[in-house]
Amino acid sequence: MANHPKIAILGGAESGVGAARLAVLHGYEVFLSDRGQLKPTYREALTAAGVEFEEGQHTMERILAAEAVIKSPGIPNTAPAVVAIRDAGIQIISEIEFAYYYCKGQIIGVTGTNGKTTTVTLIHKLLKDAGLKVGLCGNVGNSFAGMLVDEPAHDWYVVEISSFQLDDVHRFRPHIAIITNIAENHLDRYDHDMSLYAAAKFNITRNQTEDDFFIYCQDSPVLMRELPRHPTLAQHCPYGFQRLSDTVSWITNLTIQVDMTNNKTLRKKLAPQAHTIETKALMSKHNQHNAMAASVVAQLLEIRKESVRQSFAEFQNVEHRLEAVRTLDGVSYINDSKATNVNSVWYALESQNQPAIWIMGGVDKGNDYGMLRELVGRKVKAIIILGTQNESKIREAFSATGKPILQADNMDLAVSTAHSLAETNEVVLLSPACASFDLYENYEARGRAFKDAVNGLSGVGLA
Ligand code: ADP
């Protein structure tokens, strides 16, 4: 019997199962091991692909018999199995690294603390609407590896990549890399060291060459502070609200300007373009950033201005990201359940032009609420803390604003309280700054509970 190269996979969720299926397709002998229980759909997918797997344990001698191990991003480096694999000198790679080896199309990779899903969705739409053959994968929907198995080859792959996925890349080289921003998040996984967390994100540019492009937000202070420590050969394309010397995209009066002619590191000189933002979904500050990043991609790919305009006009916010749910008695209800850190809430509050009843709270990942205080003073009418986790920390953080602070044990109560406080031309905003695990399985379940509660309200006037 032919001797097949052996690959072991640690973790059997979306990326692990995708990697397993791709590895089988390319003739590897695959063994997948998960210390927990697999979801039935993943179990079925592995069985259908003929992948050998185990659950509830790691049989180390089988794992250590592999030539390489693909580690799921959720498993920390401190896990005993990971330590043993490294001690044995076996190479650990991430699923996107493995998928990269078999990808024949060009890659647009997007990472950052916030804005990844929105930005990849927008870029995917721009390319698709322009008639390009493009796939959307990574942390959104199908994994990169899974997509290579499930769909015929695309010319372009827009891949959403978390910093954990970038911990174990070696040769991964996107043609276009984007970092949307870097702010405090997940620091527990990086020894509470912001530079280590940032370094993982900059791995996205590590293997880029002079023919590639690196698009990044010049308005993110941490990103800009860390940038000089991570040199890359890629041509730099910074974007932001102001035009600095090398800026390739900026905004004037809600019009995105894209002009690469002044940028000294860019070899590609294309005619400047301008796109006016007309849609409500793109008006918020953070989506203006995301739209600038997407506009630079459109310019590099020479997508026609009319096509970009049309795509922007049709764009709807992704579910649970400043998603407009309903207007009732002149009050807008907005679901921003995905805002699980302080930075994304900052943008949510900043983009409100009407007084907000702010529903927030949940499991705190070491938040510093101080950076929100001034905005809360200006934009918020009342705060409703959902759940009791870190209630006292939140009260302490915002008591100086003088705003009423209420508490609700469940979503129905939070929404009905907000409803009774809100007056015409005000906003009820769910933007928690926290994870949801105290009351819900995930942020999607929390967002759906909010929408159900909002849709269940009856108004006094016209709905
Ligand atoms: P990610 O995939 O990185 O988590 P999302 O697009 O899902 O990003 O958005 C997560 C949260 O961050 C949402 O609350 C959204 O409104 C907010 N957000 C989106 N884009 C940005 C940005 N560029 N900067 C800061 N916050 C953002």
Q: What is the pLDDT of residues 225-268, one digit of tens each?
A: 999 999 999 999 999 999 998 999 999 988 999 999 888 888 87
Atom of ligand 1 nearest to the CA of 183: 25
8 Å CB contact between 273 and 296: no
Distance 118 CA to ligand 1 centre (A): 7
Is the Cβ atom of 125 under 6 angstroms away from ligand 1? no
pLDDT confidence of residue 284: 86
pLDDT confidence of residue 116: 95
Distance 95 CA to ligand 1 centre (A): 23
Q: What's the rounded mean pLDDT across residues 130-141?
A: 94
Is the Cβ atom of 115 under 6 angstroms away from ligand 1? yes
The DSSP bridge partners found for residue 251 are 256
Distance 320 CA to ligand 1 centre (A): 10
Q: Give 187's pLDDT tier (boundaries 50, 70, 90).
A: low
Q: Is 233 left (phi over 0), alpha (psi -120 to 50) or beta?
A: alpha
pLDDT confidence of residue 3: 67
Is the Cβ atom of 118 under 6 angstroms away from ligand 1? yes
Q: What's the rounded mean pLDDT across residues 26-45?
A: 96
Distance 186 CA to ligand 1 centre (A): 15
Distance 342 CA to ligand 1 centre (A): 11
| Closest residue to atom 11 of ligand 1, CA basis | 339
To test ligand 1's pocket by mutation, which of 338, 351, 375 has the most ligand atoms within 8 angstroms of CB? 338
8 Å CB contact between 248 and 263: yes
pLDDT in tens, 284-343: 889 999 999 999 999 999 999 999 999 999 998 888 999 999 999 999 999 999 999 999
Distance 60 CA to ligand 1 centre (A): 38
pLDDT confidence of residue 280: 81
Q: How far apart are CA 323 and CA 462, in angstroms?
A: 21
Is the Cβ atom of 286 under 6 angstroms away from ligand 1? yes
DSSP for 36-99, written as a single string: SPPPHHHHHHHHHHT-EEEESS--HHHHTTSSEEEEPTTS-TTSHHHHHHHHTT-EEE-HHHHH
- Nearest by Cα to 360 from 291, 283, 414, 399: 414
Atom of ligand 1 nearest to the CA of 114: 3
Distance 177 CA to ligand 1 centre (A): 17
Q: What's the rounded mean pLDDT across residues 166-178?
A: 96
To test ligand 1's pocket by mutation, which of 110, 111, 114, 347 has the most ligand atoms within 8 angstroms of CB? 114
pLDDT at 132 over 80: yes
pLDDT in tens, 347-356: 999 989 999 9
Q: Give 188's pLDDT tier (boundaries 50, 70, 90).
A: low
SS3 content of the chain, % helix, strand, coil (to 5): 40, 20, 40
Q: What percent of the chain has pLDDT over 90?
A: 81
Distance 240 CA to ligand 1 centre (A): 16
Atom of ligand 1 nearest to the CA of 348: 16
pLDDT confidence of residue 1: 41
Distance 338 CA to ligand 1 centre (A): 7
Is the Cβ atom of 334 under 6 angstroms away from ligand 1? no
| Closest residue to atom 17 of ligand 1, CA basis | 344
Distance 83 CA to ligand 1 centre (A): 33
- Nearest by Cα to 355 from 329, 385, 377: 377
Q: What's the rounded mean pLDDT across residues 135-150?
A: 94
Q: Is the dihedral of CA 15, 17, 20, 26 positive or negative?
A: negative
pLDDT at 463 over 60: no
Is the Cβ atom of 181 under 6 angstroms away from ligand 1? yes
Q: Give 203's pLDDT tier (boundaries 50, 70, 90).
A: very high
Atom of ligand 1 nearest to the CA of 160: 2
pLDDT in tens, 361-404: 998 878 889 999 999 999 999 999 998 888 999 999 999 999 99
pLDDT in tens, 356-372: 999 999 988 788 899 99
Distance 116 CA to ligand 1 centre (A): 6
pTM: 0.87
Q: What's the rounded mean pLDDT across residues 393-418?
A: 95
Indicate the DSSP class of residue 153.
P
8 Å CB contact between 112 and 182: yes
Q: Is the dihedral of CA 236, 237, 241, 246 positive or negative?
A: positive
Give me the residue label for tokens 């769910």. Answer: 430
- Nearest by Cα to 164 from 211, 118, 116, 225: 116
Is the Cβ atom of 185 under 6 angstroms away from ligand 1? no
Atom of ligand 1 nearest to the CA of 112: 3
pLDDT at 271 over 90: no
What's the one-letter identity of residue 87? D
Distance 180 CA to ligand 1 centre (A): 9
8 Å CB contact between 349 and 372: yes
